[in-house]
């Protein structure tokens, strides 16, 4: 069986934690940041987890997680 290729775009955006959850960053943190309130930018700095609905879309892109 040939080796599976990891989707590099997904590998740069997602990390699979030991618990099995998939960690991701928030969008809209970098672009046009000067007009956003400081509280919003600070909350966008923090990572979050991929929802259960999207988990089945992300995991096939990361075959050797």
Backbone phi, then psi, for 50, in 5-degree steps?
-70, 140
The candidate with the shortest Cα–Cα distance to 10, out of 49, 44, 57, is 57
Per-residue pLDDT of the chain (65 residues; tens, 9 = 90+): 899 999 999 999 999 999 999 999 999 888 898 999 999 999 999 999 999 999 999 999 999 88
Indicate the pTM of the whole model. 0.80
* Structure-token pair, residue 17: 């934690």
pLDDT tens digit string along 39-52?
A: 999 999 999 999 99
How do the domains of the chain map onto residue ranges? Answer: 8-61
Tell me which residue has tokens 């618990």. Answer: 19
Architecture of domain 8-61: Irregular (4.10)
């Amino acid at each position: 069986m040939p080796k599976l290729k990891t989707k590099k775009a997904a590998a740069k955006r997602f990390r699979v934690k030991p618990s099995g959850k998939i960690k991701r960053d928030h969008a809209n943190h970098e672009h046009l940041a000067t007009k956003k309130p400081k509280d919003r930018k600070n909350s966008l700095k923090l990572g979050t987890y991929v929802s259960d609905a999207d988990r089945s879309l992300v995991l096939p892109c990361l075959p050797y997680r």
